[in-house]
Structures are given as C-alpha cells and as structure tokens.
Amino acid sequence: MKTLSKFLSALLAFTVLQVQAMGEDDPLLVMGKLDQFEIRDTEGDNPRVLAGELWAGYDLSKLWLKLDAERVGGETEELEVQALYSRAISAFWNIQLGARFDDKPEPRRKWAVIGVQGLAPYFFDIDAALFFGEGGQVGLRLETEYEWMLTQRLVLSPDIEINLYGKNDPATEIGSGLADVEVGLRLRYEIRREFAPYIGVNWQKKYGKTADYAAGGDIEDAQVVIGVSAWF
C-alpha cells in the first residue's frame, strides 16, 4: 500500500507539470458503472445479466458507452452496445447522440440513436431514446428509475423499461407497436458508495406481435434476482 501510494505520488509528479493557483476546475474524468450484474432465477438455465455504462469526459460533454448483455447457459443471447456523445443542455438534462449495435440476437442490427438522459422533477432518473434502424425501422425506449432511501445505505429502487417499434422484424422477433415491458424492484445495501449487493424481483412481458413471435417461448416471466452494483 505504501509503495503504491509512493508510486502514485511519483506518477502525479510526472503528470502534473505545473500546478495552478487552484485545483483543476474541469478535469478529464472516467467513470465506469455496473448498474446490474445479476443472476436471475428462472426455470431452466439461470440468465446472467450485465447492464452498465462507461463514460469519459468533462462537466458538460462526455463520451458514453452503454452495455446490455444477457447470457444463458454459456451462450450470449443478448448483446447491445451504444456509443454516444453526451452534451449537457440544461441543469439536469443531457442530450445523447450516437450509434447502437445489437450483436445478439442475430442477425445483427445497427441503429442511430438520439436520446435524452437526466433527472426529472421528483427525482426520477430518465433515459429516453429514439433508435433509427435499417430499412426504416424505428424504436423507442423509455427507462425510468426511482430511489427510496430506507436508510442512508439501504435503498429500494423500482425501475421500468418500455420498448416500442415501428415495424415488424421477424428475424429478431420484434413486432410493431408495444414490444415489451420490464419492471424491476431491487433492494441494495451500499457497503460503500461504490459497491452495493442487492436482491430483487424482475418481471418482463412481451406484447402484441412480439408476443406472437415468441409463442412457445417465454412471453411473461417473473424472476428473483441477486447481484451487485458497483462503480469507480
């Protein structure tokens, strides 16, 4: 530990060539965040889910990577990556522009993304995005999350995600209109700000044509989840 701190202070000495009259106002920061890293208990193989983001940048402009992945029985069933430029437009809101790549399920799909992300009145975390895909496909995703502080470290957090699409895409089993809704309720304990194990429940349901495509598979599923959230 001591050697490490010596190494770090030496490193600092190299990187900070000239110290100004005060600390650096708007330093380049990098934040990585695992919102969900969990196992979902269901019939058959239990899915493992990873949802998180990585950003690098300054107060008002950042580059974001958003990652969503689900593995079942050693197979990646879902892998979605978004690369976005995020720009602050008001006190609590950012506009996010970029691209989304769906690596799984196959066939791969590419999208252009325009979204808003921020904090709405009454402390609702909002992430809303429009996706423009190939062949005139359009998608809309609305996500919101709330945090109830039961104690200073025990937080109950409901969240909801809704996906809508403009067209049928039989290859990826997506139907037009309301496609799916996912509702979660997670109870986490912040051992540190940066590390919180949690338990919860997750419920998801497919609707309309999307449900028709999935006939025979899971249309509605409720699962108990256990996982950790963490950031640096």
Partner 1 sequence: MFDSLSRRQFVTGVSTGMALTSLGLPSAKVRAAGLLAAQPAVLSGRQFNLDIGYQQVNFTGAERTATTVNGSLPAPILRWKEGEQVSLRVTNHLAHDTSLHWHGMILPYQMDGVPGLSYAGIKPGETFEYRFDVKQSGTYWYHSHSGFQEQTGLYGAIVIDPKEPDPVAFDREYVVLLSDWSDTSPESIYANLKKLSHYYNFQERTVGDLWHEIREKGVTKTWQARKMWNQMRMSQADIADVTGYTYTYLMNGNTPASGWMGLFSKGEKIRLRFINGSAMSIFDVRIPGLKMTVVAADGQNIEPVTVDEFRIATAETYDVIVEPAADQAYTVFAQSIDRTGYARGTLAPDPSLQALIPAMDPRPVLSHRDMGMAHDGHDMGVMDHDMSAMGNDMGHDMSTMKHDMSGHSMHSQAMNAHVMNSKPGPAGFGSQAPVVHKPSERGPQTDMQAMSPLSGLDDQGIGLRDHAQLYGRKVLRYADIRNLTPTLDKRDPEREIQMHLTGNMSRYMWSIDGIKYADAEPVRLHYGERVRITLVNDTMMTHPMHLHGMWSELETGDPDYIPRKHTVIVQPGSKISYLVTADALGRWAYHCHMLYHMPGMHREVRVEHGGKKA
Footprint on this chain of partner 1 (rule: CB under 8 A): 2, 5-6, 9-10, 12-13, 16-27, 29, 31, 59-60, 88-93, 119-123, 148-153, 156, 193, 231
Looking at beta carbons only, is 110 or 153 nearer to partner 1?
Answer: 153
Phi, psi of 229 (to 5 degrees): -115, 145
Residue identified by tokens 């109830």 is 148
Q: What span, in angstroms and rounded, lies between the C-alpha atoms of 103 and 213?
A: 20
Q: Considering the complex, what minimum distance in angstroms separates the CB of residue 32 from partner 1? A: 10
Q: What span, in angstroms and rounded, lies between the C-alpha atoms of 41 and 202?
A: 10
Closest CA to 225 of 48, 70, 77: 48
Q: Do you know the residue count of the chain? A: 232
Q: Considering the complex, what minimum distance in angstroms separates the CB of residue 19 from partner 1? A: 4
Looking at beta carbons only, is 19 or 215 nearer to partner 1?
Answer: 19
Looking at beta carbons only, is 101 or 148 nearer to partner 1?
Answer: 148
Q: Considering the complex, what minimum distance in angstroms separates the CB of residue 87 from partner 1? A: 9
Q: What span, in angstroms and rounded, lies between the C-alpha atoms of 198 and 190?
A: 9
Q: Considering the complex, what minimum distance in angstroms separates the CB of residue 12 from partner 1? A: 7
Looking at beta carbons only, is 14 or 215 nearer to partner 1?
Answer: 14
Rounded (to 5) percent helix, strand, coil in the chain: 10, 60, 25
